[in-house]
Amino acid sequence: MKFIFTVLILYVGVYAQATYIDRAAYLLTKTGTMKTTLTLKDCGGIEQSQWLDCQSGDCKALVFDNAATCDTWDCKAVTAMNPQWCMSKDCKALVQRDPYQCESQNCKAIVGQSSDSCADHECVTLVETGSLSCE
Q: What percent of the chain has pLDDT over 70?
A: 75
pTM value is 0.73
pLDDT band at 96 (very low <50, low <70, confident <90, very high): very high
Please give the full DSSP string across 12-36, using - where no structure is assigned. HHHHHHHHHHHHHHHHHHHTT-SSS
Q: How far apart are the first and last CA of the chain?
A: 40
* Listed range (29-33, 65-69, 96-100) with the worst mean pLDDT: 29-33
CB-CB contact of 21 with 131 (8 Å)? no
Comparing 10 with 67, the larger pLDDT belongs to 67
Q: Are 15 and 37 in contact (CB under 8 A)?
A: no
Residue range 33-87, pLDDT digits in tens: 565 567 788 888 888 888 888 888 888 888 888 888 888 899 899 889 999 999 9
**Pairwise CA distance, residues 38 & 101, whole Å:** 24
Mean pLDDT, all residues of the chain: 79
Is there a contact between 89 and 76 (Cβ–Cβ < 8 Å)? no
